[in-house]
Structures are given as structure tokens and as C-alpha cells.
Amino acid sequence: MKILKYLFFLLLIVIIAGAIYVATKDGNYQVEESVIIKAPVPVVFNEVNNFKNWEQWGPWMDDADDLIVNYPENTTGQGASYSWKSEELGDGSIRNAKVIPNSTIDQILIFKSSYGESKSDGYWRFEEVEDGTKVTWGIIGEQNFMEKLAFTFMDQGFTAMVNPMFVEGLEKLKKITLEKMDKYAVNVDGVTTHGGGFYMYATTASKIAQIQTRMQQMFADVSLYMEQNNITAMGKPFILYNQWDEQNNSAIYSAGMFTPSLVITPAESSVLNGMMPVQKVIKTTLTGDYKYLKQAWERAYKYAEENDLPVAINAPAFEVYVTGPEESPNPAGWVTEIYIPLLDPTQVEEETEATSLL
């Protein structure tokens, strides 16, 4: 009996010593990973700020077949949250405690497992860099007694186990964000009448590849002139293609804004006033990045050819920028309308007669 008592006390001492060791073991942890995404800060921020988007890139979303996600009414911004239930992963929830648009998201994470309930502080940081947006995702917390006990007998610590999940999640976030930005659609709306009107404009010539860069400054110059001279702007900005030379990779074009009436400009002014006639046009709408404008123009001209619509070669075609970077940081939301002028019936008859005479 004495031997049993000694063994019992020895076992008790070992258990107590082990408990003291586990209890005094440092359970603090911080996991942090970053990635650079070639996208504007608002685009990346909005992707993370909506919990429903996490289904597409959340690193644990594919780790359990029995995962059930529950969303409250509010899933974006401060106070937003979502929760999940899973026998494989355990239950949990995430709530946004603090949100600073395009900068910071601080979160509270709660995990419930066989080791008990644990609470952690999560955080996201969004920083504009030369190549796009640097996204940092991290978590800070302290393990409870049962978690520390469990990880004592594991081959790797908590940080080593969780770190790959953050890396995976950020890589998925990068992939999904870029895919969403690259979505576009081209729709040939058909033949319509464009109302034309007076417009202020600036004209230049450049290589075709330089148009997107040059036009920003041209619009700024026109807008400044109109503001300084109290000229009211109507509608959206547009580019009028006066001459397009694909073979020599050059173009002459004007950046313009419609105005309510005729404006007389000084002889030395680089910003002038013009008049666009009312005309029949083929209208085509591109929703998406400007890099897809070429496809949109090709679709528009193909439509004209397939429907025997006579294009007015001497009348400049133009693009109207309905929604651009200022309104939508995501290129997938940009809307550009393309207008290709058509010959009116009288012009078609005159050209036919002239051709027959030859």
C-alpha cells in the first residue's frame, strides 16, 4: 500500500509540475503575412471589407465538408460580422471592430473547439505602393491552458501551423481580385441618333499607344479653361478621333466637353469651341478596362459590315467616358460608349451616283 501511495503522490507531483509548466509557458502569438496586388487600394479594400467575398478566398473555406456559414444583415464595414459551424474545424465568428476606409480593418475572432473558446485580434492594413496595393493580414492572441497543453505534444507550434493559411488566403485574394478587375463586356447597341451640340476641345497628335496618357492632361486643360471662364459643362468627356493611322501608329484626336451654347475663344487659345452635328451612329458600349477598347471597336465595325451600314469615313468617330477611374476604382465598372457616324441616305445616293459615273 505504501508503494501505491508513493506512486500516487509521484504521479500527482508530475501532473502538478506539468500543469505549472504548461500554465507558465508563453502562449502569446502573432501571425502576419503580406502580399502586393497590382490593383488600386479601394478595390482590394472593398474585396476584404465584404465578408461574403471571403467564401472565394478564405483559406479555411475548403478545409471542411461540413462548414456552414451564417451571415447577418450587415456584412460590410464597421460592426459587420459572420459566423460558421463545423464539427471538423470547430465553430467561430469574426466581427469588424474598427474600419477606416482604404486603410485599416481591425477584427475580433472567436474560435470554439474541443480545447475551449479562444479570442484573438485580427487586423488588415492596406498601403498604396508603386506596384499597386500592399496588403497585410495578421492575428494577435494568447492561447488558453488547453491549447498550450495540446501544442506541447505537437510537432509544430501555433504560428507555424497557421502561417501557411494566411499565405494561401492572400494568394487567393490576389488571384480573385485580379480576375474581377479583368471582367469586361462589349455590347453593340445598334443604330441610334446622337444629338451632337457645341463643345470645348483641345487637339493633339501622338502615337496610338500614348492616347490614354495624353488625354488625361488634355481633359484637365479643357476643364480648367471652362472653369476659369465660367463655361458650363454638359454630359461626359469624350475623345473625337480626327484621324487614325494604324499603319504608322499615329492619331490626331481631340479631348472635349459638351457645352450649352457657342463659345467664342481668343485666337491664341489652345482650347477651342466646336460643333458636332446631329447624326445617325452605331453605338457600342464597353463595360470594363480601356485595354479592351480595341475589341469593342472591332465589334462595332464588324456589326456595320454584317448589316451593310455605310460608315461615314470623313465624320470623326468618338468615345464617351460615362464611368471612369474617378467614379469607379475597379476597371470592371468603367463604361465607355463608342459612336461611329453613318452616312445619311442622301449621302449614300450621291456616293452611288458618283461611283456609277466612274
- Residue 162 scores a pLDDT above 80: no
Q: What is the tens place of the pLDDT at every residue in 270-311?
A: 999 999 999 999 999 999 999 999 999 999 999 999 999 999
The most confident of 13-22, 65-74, 255-264, 344-353, by mean pLDDT: 255-264
- Residue 352 scores a pLDDT above 50: no
First-to-last alpha carbon distance for the chain, in angstroms, is 127
Q: What is the pLDDT of residue 8?
A: 40
- Residue 350 scores a pLDDT above 70: no
Average pLDDT, the chain: 85
Mean pLDDT throughout 334-358? 69
Residue 88's pLDDT band (cuts 50, 70, 90): confident
* Overall pTM surpassing 0.85 (yes/no): no
- Residue 255 scores a pLDDT above 90: yes
Backbone angles phi, psi at 87, to 5 degrees: -70, -30
Which stretch of 61-75, 246-260, 312-326 has the lowest confidence by average pLDDT?
A: 61-75
Q: What is the tens place of the pLDDT at every residue in 10-66?
A: 443 444 433 343 344 445 778 899 999 999 999 999 999 999 999 999 877 766 678
All domains of the chain in start order, with CATH: 24-181 (3.30.530.20), 185-357 (3.20.80.10)
Which H or E run includes 162?
helix 158-181
Q: What is the pLDDT of residue 141?
A: 75
Given strand 185-194, what is the order of strands in its sheet? Answer: 185-194, 279-287, 335-341, 317-323, 234-245, 250-258, 197-207, 272-276
- Residue 9 scores a pLDDT above 60: no
The most confident of 118-122, 163-167, 182-186, by mean pLDDT: 182-186
Q: What is the pLDDT of residue 60?
A: 74
Among 96, 115, 112, 109, CA closest to 49: 96
Q: How far is CA 207 from CA 1, 210, 244, 246, 358, in A?
A: 100, 5, 10, 10, 37
- Residue 159 scores a pLDDT above 90: no
* Helix and strand counts by DSSP (H, E) for the chain: 8, 15
Q: What is the tens place of the pLDDT at every residue in 94-130?
A: 999 999 999 999 999 988 766 667 788 999 999 999 9
Among 181, 224, 226, 200, CA closest to 42: 181
Q: What is the pLDDT of residue 173?
A: 96
3-state helix, strand, coil in the chain (%, to 5): 35, 40, 25
Give CA–CA dist 33/180, Å, rounded.
Answer: 23
Residue with the bigger pLDDT between 289 and 5: it is 289
The distance from CA 35 to its chain's CA centroid, rounded to whole angstroms, is 16
Place of cell 505602393: 129
Among 345, 334, 321, 335, CA closest to 191: 345
